Amino acid sequence: MKVETLRWFNNRLEMVDQRILPAAFEYLSYYTAASVAEGIRSMVVRGAPAIGVAAAYGVALEALRLSQLLPPCRGKVGMGVESLSLDTSTPSLTLPLHGGGDSSVDFKTGMEAGFTVLAASRPTAVNLFWALQRMRKVWEGVATQSPQEIAQRLLAEAHEILAEDIRINKTMGAHGAALLKDGARVLTHCNAGALATAGWGTALGVFRSAVEAGKKISVIADETRPFLQGARLTAWEMVQENIPVTLITDNMAGYMMAQGEVDAVVVGTDRVAANGDVANKIGTYMVAVLAKRHNIPFYVACPLSTIDLSIASGKDIPIEERSADEVKGFRDTHWAAEGVKIRNPSFDVTPAELVTGLITERGVVLQPDVQSIRKLMADVASS
């Protein structure tokens, strides 16, 4: 089954509502940068590459809206698009679009507000900022054209970012699949699948590619407290594709490794620093330490857009702290003692020394460090 996590449909962005999976599979529609930002913040869409693709469409939607190329909203609209309590200083919603004044100035101001609201949606996944920077560059390249022409160019770029993400995942998948032996039992944490990307997935893309290459592999999915991306999303994706999957709670990983039931670990990432330190879903660091202890290779599927050379080491990666409600319970059920102090850091950093290899679309970087990452990025820049 091919999951289209995000799709352009009838002049609007549609995103699978990942908060209600696997109980229901439903698309929500998006028409503005602010509503896409809210979709990212509230986890309708999540996973580093998917967040980047959504942000690119958010910019394109804002340009279409400001240049009056969007038809009126119809269908099931993403949370917040009508009710979103946008700060009245958000000029994109209050300025006249045309007539009465210089519409190119209004367009520019509205677009800047769109970029700002998108950049504030989530802090850790660098793909968000990567996509915004790429869209800004495209905008700058056609800034002298009419708002309508700019909007069409930005929409074409968003389509390209989506298509490129799937191509990259497939290339990365082939590199990663070569690392897994036939019959491998592979543990993963969180969801780095089709749902976390435009399609195919990064870590789960490696599993899909291994299966496509004829290897029999089986997946062990960590539940991934507190948001349960493993139990709800990874397990669902693997079941859909008949890839054997076993769900465990996060605290069972050490036992499974000690029993000799894990041959490799493959996870995704939200940001890799210049020295190879890896930020990923909270709990990944724990898995990496355990893997080292048990001599199990620990691989990170990492598109180049996730490498952030401006950050020297993992300690400078911004770590999102999410609502205490996510730890207190799930949805309407609360189990934590009332009044207890709660922490909810959503990501952690795995030091490069625990990473066996970064699987990128340019091949596998074994034992990543400052030199190997610098060389990889220099090779990319010169090609």
Please classify residue 252 by burial: count the beta carbons closer than 10 Å to its beta carbon, then call 0-12 exposed, 13-18 middle and 19+ buried.
middle
- Closest CB 171 distance from ligand MRU, rounded Å: 14
Interacting residue with ligand MRU among 13, 33, 155, 190 (CB under 6 A): 190
DSSP string, 131-177: HHHHHHHHHHHTTTS-HHHHHHHHHHHHHHHHHHHHHHHHHHHHHHH
How far, in Å, CA of 287 to CA of 278, rounded?
Answer: 13
Amino acid identity, position 277: D
Least separation in angstroms between CB 218 and ligand MRU: 20
- Catalytic annotation on 270? yes
Q: Which stretch binds ligand MRU (CB under 6 A): 46-54, 58-66, 285-293, 328-336?
A: 46-54
Provide the minimum distance between the beta carbon of 253 and ligand MRU in the complex, in angstroms, as a whole number: 15
The per-residue DSSP string of 337-349 comes to PTT-----B-EEE
The answer to whether residue 29 forms part of the interface with ligand MRU (CB under 6 A) is no
Per CB under 6 A, 280 contacts ligand MRU: yes
Crossing angle of helices 103-119 and 147-177, rounded to 10°:
30
Q: Which residue has the tokens 């465990």?
A: 248
* Binder among 157, 270, 308, 348 for ligand MRU (CB under 6 A): 270
Backbone region of residue 302 per phi and psi (left: phi > 0; alpha: psi in -120 to 50; beta: other values): beta
Q: Provide the token pair at 316.
A: 């400078």
If binding is defined by CB under 6 A, does position 346 make contact with ligand MRU?
A: yes
Active-site residue, from 222, 263, 270, 308: 270
State yes or no: residue 209 binds ligand MRU (CB under 6 A). no
E strands within the chain?
A: 6-9, 12-16, 27-30, 185-188, 218-222, 245-248, 264-267, 271-273, 278-281, 298-301, 307-308, 329-330, 333-334, 347-350, 357-360, 363-366
The only residue of 281, 307, 349, 356 in contact with ligand MRU, by rule CB under 6 A: 281
Q: Judged by CB under 6 A, which stretch of 21-29, 139-147, 267-275, 324-332 contacts ligand MRU?
A: 267-275
**In the bound complex, what is the minimum distance in angstroms from residue 269's beta carbon to ligand MRU?**
6
Residue of the chain from 5, 121, 152, 269 that contacts ligand MRU (CB under 6 A): 269
Residue 229 interacting with ligand MRU (CB under 6 A): yes
- How far apart CA 70 and CA 258 sit, in angstroms, is 57
Among 57-65, 146-154, 194-202, 249-257, the segment contacting ligand MRU (CB under 6 A): 194-202
Enumerate the β-bridge partners of residue 298: 265
Q: Which of 12, 19, 41, 46 binds ligand MRU (CB under 6 A)?
A: 46
φ, ψ of residue 250 in degrees (nearest 5) = -60, -35
Which CB, 29 or 269, lies closer to ligand MRU? 269
**Closest listed residue to residue 15, CA positions, set 42, 248, 173, 275:** 42
Nearer of residues 66 and 264 to ligand MRU, judged by Cβ: 264
**Which residues are within 8 A (CB) of 353 and not within 5 positions of it... i.e. 6 or more apart?**
none
Q: Please, which residue, 39 or 147, has the CB nearer to ligand MRU? A: 39
Pick the closer one to ligand MRU by CB: 260 or 345.
345
Q: Binder to ligand MRU among 6, 180, 186, 196 (CB under 6 A)?
A: 196
Report the DSSP beta bridge partners of residue 364.
359
Which residues contribute to the site for ligand MRU (CB under 6 A)?
Answer: 46-49, 125, 190, 192, 196-197, 202, 229, 268-270, 280-281, 346
> So which residues are the catalytic ones?
270
